[in-house]
Structure 1
Amino acid sequence: MGVLRSWLLPALLAAGQAALWPGLPVLLDRPVDRVEVAAALAATALAATALGWRLRAPVGALAVIVPALTLGLAATPRDSLILLTFADVIALYSVGARRPGRVTFAVTVGLIAWQAGVGVLLYPDLRDYLGNVVIAVIVYLLAAGLGRSRRRWRAARARAADRLARAEADRRQASVQERQRLARELHDVSAHHLTSIVVTVTAAQRLAARRPELAGEALEFAARTGRETQFALHRLVAVMRGVELEGGTGLGHRIEELAAGFAALGQPVTTRLSVDSVAGPVCDAAYGIVREALTNALRHAPGGPVEIALSQRSGTVEVLVTNAAATAPGAASGLGSGRGVEGMRERATATGGTLEAGPEPDGGWRVRALLPGSAASTMARPLRRVRGPRLADVAIALAAAALPVALMLVPDPTMPEVDAAAAALATMLTAAHALPLLWRRRAPWAVLGAVLATTALWPVVAGFHLLPAGALAALFAGVCADLVAVYAVAAYGRPRHLTWLSMPLAAGVHGAVTLLTFALDGRLLDQPIAPAPMVVLLAPTAAPYLLLVAPVWTAGFLTRVGREGVVSRERRAVAASTAGAVELAYAERLRIAAGLRAAVLRHAALVTEAAEAGRLDAVLESARAALAAMRELLGDLRVDPERAPQPTTAAIDALCRDLRAAGRRVELHSPAPAPVLPPAVDVSAYRVVETALGAGDDGPARVTLGYGPADLRITVTGVPSATAGPVAAGLHARVAAIGGRMTVDPTGTMDVWLPSRT
């Protein structure tokens, strides 16, 4: 495909040139000079070969094309190499598309200077020379400008591909990153709460004979720290369970549930929500800002009333969270990251919004965010900047203004010469007519109106006979500016479904202007024209213009559809990857929240109950069980599956063989081969069996694996040490984390049910 793309155009150009000259004269049996034919063929071969390398080395291709064209033009009759003269234009386009702006500028200036020098040899007449040089300048500027636009478009696509690649990388790393973040938070709880309880109570028991007063202090410390642990864990569970997937329930419902969760933790929360359909990144940003603001209020102002207000108007979503001063002592000071406000501001900025946060006069705190109604507009903003007024817009405007002037300069035997004053007036008129095109991308409808408005000057010029016939005819070449404006409306105008109105509007204005010009000039088809029939003649006069603008509008609209399709596909791909990352992170939160609820929270509550009841041994046992369950979760969280692949269900057989080789009687019964299981279930099944068999029992054991259509059942007998205490707590946490269930029999039997589908 790359070879075809590089060489197809040069081959067609060379074949067309050879067919036109010398092919056509030879076919018509006209005499041609052999030397001229040889020079033409040599120049064509050199230019076409160099043009084939334009994609890899466009500047080098021009370095060959320019001398080849110079020699070819000097050695052949005038206009015989008319097709080959487009080789430098094509190469210049490639320079603009593939090289930096400074290189494009230097090459364009060099080509203009070369064209001016070659023109001295080709066009001895001054008017002819000036006209052709002006046309060459216009063509070069257009080629360079369009090449630069193509370069920016490709750069935008490259940036979009990079965004998608980063989103895909984030999606693949989402669960790992979420595990690492949760591991840090859970480590704070285990290190600063549960571990301190175990250490304090153990020390009190060891020194009970010498310092009996330590037992009371340890119980008081355990009760206070146990309550703090419960508070911290409840907060973590509330935050983790509060995050829902995009596309689920509405933003208002999500905020209500989040507020209810924090209210259950003792924080009075009221809501005033008036939002309709907010989705995508804006929905996630609003929810995340409210969640973080509530978390900060719970940490820094516990007990203080909090009000959440969400409103949507004029395409903007306003998020307002205010809280009063604290009415209770703080209890969760060890779990913050210190980046709450910064994180909220980053969320708002990512959607194109703003955030303000600061203290209130009454000692409270206020967070206010303004978010766009849709993140699509902010995602498209960089693309619109790429398509802003650039060299292509300037070149097109100059071309539309200079083309009529060039037509006046080129000698035409059918038209009288135009004097300097008339040429200056016509130049000013065409410049005013084309100047609005500089803003054709930003305000296409306004540009079309301005271009059509300046067209009304033509009848005035004709009525006062300010221009001779030659200049007046050239002035009508300004219709090119109107065509560019119609194209701009089709490609960039809004609303999209009404851009077709630009066709009858432009055709109608030009039809009326044409009739009025001829009427004021006094004649139409060599006959006097009266005002009365003008209305009748408007439709047939406008029809040719409509036929002219219709394909232009169609081309612009099709370009728009293709461009918007590309951008839309890129946006959907990034959104899908982002949603996937959210889903994976959400699944990790649910898994850890389930483990916390199933084991850690239960044992943490038992710590507080035992401490308040004065049972020091029960405090130690429950704290150790909670710590074991927490460490089980932490061990799971800190494993990077890509760096350290974990053993799966299929490895249970090898585990049993290793234990038998070590002298323990372990029997494995699995009536069917292991099916394909979700990775989390596959790894957890192995870890459950490994933990149960390694709990410290030496007697015979039996492992039974049963595979159902939607579940995996594991039964382990002969493991009494795994059915109570810290080992059982850790197993409960692991099983609950993936949505499973576990029952134990104190005699030494453990039944585990795991879902085989997630």
Structure 2
Amino acid sequence: MDRGPGVADAALPALLLTGHVITVVLGAVLGADRATAWQSALGILAVLVSATALTWRVAAPVPVFCAALTADAASRALLPETALTPALPAAVWVALFTLSVRRPARLALPGAALATAATPLPAGGGDVTGPLLDDLLAGALLHLAIVLGGRLRAHRKDRHARLLARLADLEGERRAAADAERERLARDLHDTAGHHLTAIAVQGAAALRLVDTRPELAGEALNHGAAVGRDVLAALGELVAVVADEPGDGALHEVLPPLCAGLERLGVPVTLDVRGRPRALPPAVRVTAYRVVQESLTNAMRYAAGAPVVVSVQYGYGDVTVTVTNGAVRKPEAPGSGLGTGRGLANLTERAASVGGRLTAGPGERGGWTVRATLPTRAPGTWWPRAVDATLLTACTAVPLLTTARHPSPGELCALSVLLTVHAAPLPARRRAPAAALAMSLAVSVAWATATVAGALPFAWLAALGFAWTAELAALHAVGAYGPARATWPAPVAVGVVGGAVLGLAVVSDPAESAGLGTAALLTALGLVAVPWLLPVWALGLLTRARRGDGGRWEQRVLDAMAVRVGEAVTDERHRVATGLHGTVVEHTTRLVRHAEAGLSAPDDRRAALTGMTDAARTALTGLRTLLDTLDATRLP
């Protein structure tokens, strides 16, 4: 339920009322106010009603907006202009903004339409259609900008509230994440290793008792122990070899450092190199790139333990390339070599192909091994961005050609088509580099107008350029939607100033005018007047960003810090389990496989091989039980 009015709610209405009263009194004292006393009193009463209603704007935004709009419309209908001040329209704007913040757009937009419809008729006789249309258009843009600003404020308040709620429960989230990871590890360890090691120990002990009477059972037990032991090692490596089941919610360049740091804690030197401009990736592409690094690091630890590893991420145009290279192994055989399942690279190749990418693997130039995956950054099946780009390009090229005042020759038509195409060419890149796309379109417009002043281009072609300014508006929207989280406000100012400059150059180049460069400079400065008309386009882009969930830098820093804290808890659990496994279970399971392989290669000494394999399985089981008991008894403070 919305709260009642407070001191802060009354401050702005009091300011509006005070400003209105001071204006009326000063007008009466100076003789500028020719309104009668009752008209002035009625005007003050209307402002008092609006101000009183505004104090309840947070609790009841719809009735307050209706009251403010009614007071403004009634005052304009009953009172002369000399009895009015901007206080009543300002009250309507405040009420509309609050309505946009507190209620959904389906209520705020009709409110903006009502406020626009209440625009008064222009004073004076004659045909008022033109001035009325101008006032209606200006009012519609102003009210639309207010609604967009309110909805942007609402989205940010909602995101901040959710963020603060998560921040307040950070410790609980940290404990929950660590507990969930601990339970997952304990469950998977029991399922993947416990049963298999028990089976090896039981079968090995049975074969050892019957080794003299039924020697064929010894071979079966050794074969089973070697095969299942390799599977256990592979499963343990995939379970806790510095990787999580999922890469988390962060961007690729944010989730890779913990992955690499985990391997470094196990003694493998890892270098992470990120090049290009990091950007958001489609979820499937991000997970695939993460899996490539994950599997490659696991293989490096298994087959090239101790060799340095370099992980490289290259953001290119339309794709991202992930490369993992490990150095040459100093020893002829690493402790875990030959213990994999053989399906890792095949699975990665299939996964890369499923998102439209490709993966290669092979020996490096200086020895070692290199895995490289090139993945498209646009998810398959996203047809609508291409459709929007095609529509915009058509609107910025074909439509201006159809609206030219005279019929150009084929050569002129071709040249004009090239100019329009160059002007609209940056649009497809507006999502990746919005500021650059806007700058290029503005630069082409200025160059076009300058060439027209110099006589290089016909004056009539400027009409086509005017219709092609849809490109600048689309790029301005992209700056708000896809540009940096802050400091995008210069964009509408730049569009307004450049628009004024282009208009000034057009006036200078007009054969029917005798204007000079001074006129062009004046119109360039007057381009600032157009900035309020451009604000709704920019604000719509900001609202698109907010609805997409892309917050500001402060919000991103808080989310990153929270993710780090939660990730640290999960990583600590995984590292603790990994250390325990490598110190006991993995070591004894590796010894188990070695004994089994030795018995298979030397049939005359199978009793010793069975004994060693069975003892290693039992020791690994003991270590596993101790680790599981420790996990079960541990809880974060």
User: Given the two structures, how large is their TM-score scaled by the length of structure 2?
Assistant: 0.57
Given the superposition, is the C-alpha separation of residues 356 and 602 from structure 1 closer, same or farther in structure 2, using an over 3 Å criterion? Answer: closer
Letter in structure 1 aligned against 2:631: L
Deviation at 1:451, TM superposition (A): 7.2
List aligned pairs for 1:503-542, cutoff 5 A.
509=502, 511-515=504-508, 520-521=512-513, 534=516, 538=518, 542=521
Letter in structure 1 aligned against 2:9: S
**Do residues 16 (structure 1) and 1 (structure 2) align?**
no
Corresponding residue for 1:40? 43
Query: Where does the alignment leave 5 or more consecutive residues of structure 2 unmatched?
Result: 245-254, 303-309, 325-337, 361-370, 390-423, 454-466, 600-605
The answer to whether the 8 A contact 1:486-1:503 is kept is: no
The answer to whether the 8 A contact 2:9-2:55 is kept is: yes
**Do residues 567 (structure 1) and 540 (structure 2) align?**
no
Given the superposition, is the C-alpha separation of residues 225 and 548 from structure 1 closer, same or farther in structure 2, using an over 3 Å criterion? Answer: same
Given the superposition, is the C-alpha separation of residues 150 and 546 from structure 1 closer, same or farther in structure 2, using an over 3 Å criterion? Answer: same
Aligned partner of 2:28 among 18, 25, 28: 25
Deviations 1:416-445 (A, max 9, x none): xxxxxxxxxxxxxxxxxxxx9xx9996534
Aligned partner of 2:316 among 289, 314, 335: 314
Given the superposition, is the C-alpha separation of residues 98 and 584 from structure 1 closer, same or farther in structure 2, using an over 3 Å criterion? Answer: same
Given the superposition, is the C-alpha separation of residues 543 and 571 from structure 1 closer, same or farther in structure 2, using an over 3 Å criterion? Answer: same
Deviations 1:712-739 (A, max 9, x none): xxxxxxxxxxxxxxxxxxxxxxxxxxxx
Deviation at 1:638, TM superposition (A): 4.4
Corresponding residue for 1:418? none
Q: Secondary structure at the match of 1:317?
A: strand
**Do residues 587 (structure 1) and 563 (structure 2) align?**
no
Corresponding residue for 1:53? 56
Q: Secondary structure at the match of 1:54?
A: coil
Deviation at 1:46, TM superposition (A): 0.9
Corresponding residue for 2:393? none
**Do residues 627 (structure 1) and 606 (structure 2) align?**
no
Q: Secondary structure at the match of 2:84?
A: coil
Question: In structure 1, what is the Cα distance between the partners aligned to 2:373 and 2:159?
Answer: 28
Deviation at 1:242, TM superposition (A): 5.7
Deviation at 1:149, TM superposition (A): 4.5
Deviation at 1:581, TM superposition (A): 4.5
List aligned pairs for 1:85-104, cutoff 5 A.
85-104=89-108
Deviations 1:667-724 (A, max 9, x none): xxxxxxxxxxxx7xxxxxxxxxxxxxxxxxxxxxxxxxxxxxxxxxxxxxxxxxxxxx
Corresponding residue for 2:110? 106
Given the superposition, is the C-alpha separation of residues 631 and 70 from structure 1 closer, same or farther in structure 2, using an over 3 Å criterion? Answer: same
The answer to whether the 8 A contact 1:204-1:214 is kept is: no
Given the superposition, is the C-alpha separation of residues 133 and 52 from structure 1 closer, same or farther in structure 2, using an over 3 Å criterion? Answer: farther
The answer to whether the 8 A contact 2:112-2:140 is kept is: yes
**Do residues 78 (structure 1) and 81 (structure 2) align?**
yes
Letter in structure 1 aligned against 2:521: A
The answer to whether the 8 A contact 2:313-2:322 is kept is: yes
The answer to whether the 8 A contact 2:98-2:150 is kept is: no
Deviation at 1:44, TM superposition (A): 0.7
The answer to whether the 8 A contact 1:123-1:129 is kept is: no
May I ask how many residue pairs the two structures share in their alignment?
A: 499
Query: Where does the alignment leave 5 or more consecutive residues of structure 1 unmatched?
Result: 262-272, 300-307, 322-329, 359-366, 390-435, 460-477, 525-533, 643-678, 680-758
Letter in structure 1 aligned against 2:100: G
Question: In structure 2, what is the Cα distance between the partners aligned to 1:19 and 1:575?
Answer: 51
- Name the % identity: 24
Letter in structure 2 aligned against 1:21: V
Given the superposition, is the C-alpha separation of residues 487 and 515 from structure 1 closer, same or farther in structure 2, using an over 3 Å criterion? Answer: same
Question: In structure 2, what is the Cα distance between the partners aligned to 1:602 and 1:458?
Answer: 80
Question: In structure 2, what is the Cα distance between the partners aligned to 1:14 and 1:446?
Answer: 48
Q: Secondary structure at the match of 2:320?
A: strand
The answer to whether the 8 A contact 2:178-2:570 is kept is: yes
Given the superposition, is the C-alpha separation of residues 294 and 587 from structure 1 closer, same or farther in structure 2, using an over 3 Å criterion? Answer: closer
Over aligned residues, Cα RMSD in angstroms? 6.4
Given the superposition, is the C-alpha separation of residues 69 and 542 from structure 1 closer, same or farther in structure 2, using an over 3 Å criterion? Answer: closer
Question: In structure 1, what is the Cα distance between the partners aligned to 2:36 and 2:140?
Answer: 32
Question: In structure 2, what is the Cα distance between the partners aligned to 1:457 and 1:19?
Answer: 54
Q: Secondary structure at the match of 1:125?
A: coil
Corresponding residue for 1:753? none
The answer to whether the 8 A contact 1:444-1:488 is kept is: no
Corresponding residue for 1:266? none
Deviations 1:292-319 (A, max 9, x none): 48989999xxxxxxxx998847343335
Letter in structure 1 aligned against 2:96: L
Q: Secondary structure at the match of 1:590?
A: helix
Given the superposition, is the C-alpha separation of residues 75 and 639 from structure 1 closer, same or farther in structure 2, using an over 3 Å criterion? Answer: farther
Deviation at 1:187, TM superposition (A): 1.5
Given the superposition, is the C-alpha separation of residues 60 and 636 from structure 1 closer, same or farther in structure 2, using an over 3 Å criterion? Answer: farther
User: Given the two structures, how large is their TM-score scaled by the length of structure 1?
Assistant: 0.49
Letter in structure 2 aligned against 1:131: P
Question: In structure 1, what is the Cα distance between the partners aligned to 2:131 and 2:113?
Answer: 18
Question: In structure 1, what is the Cα distance between the partners aligned to 2:579 and 2:526?
Answer: 69
Deviation at 1:45, TM superposition (A): 0.9
Corresponding residue for 1:601? 586
Letter in structure 2 aligned against 1:587: D
List aligned pairs for 1:244-323, cutoff 5 A.
246-247=256-257, 277=275, 286-292=289-295, 312=314, 314-315=316-317, 316-319=319-322
Deviation at 1:601, TM superposition (A): 3.5
**Do residues 143 (structure 1) and 143 (structure 2) align?**
yes
The answer to whether the 8 A contact 2:93-2:146 is kept is: no
Deviation at 1:289, TM superposition (A): 2.1
Deviation at 1:139, TM superposition (A): 1.5
Given the superposition, is the C-alpha separation of residues 585 and 489 from structure 1 closer, same or farther in structure 2, using an over 3 Å criterion? Answer: closer
Letter in structure 2 aligned against 1:286: A
Deviations 1:246-299 (A, max 9, x none): 448989x99xx99x99xxxxxxxxxxx997648899899635324448989999
Range that drifts further, 25-34 or 610-619: 610-619
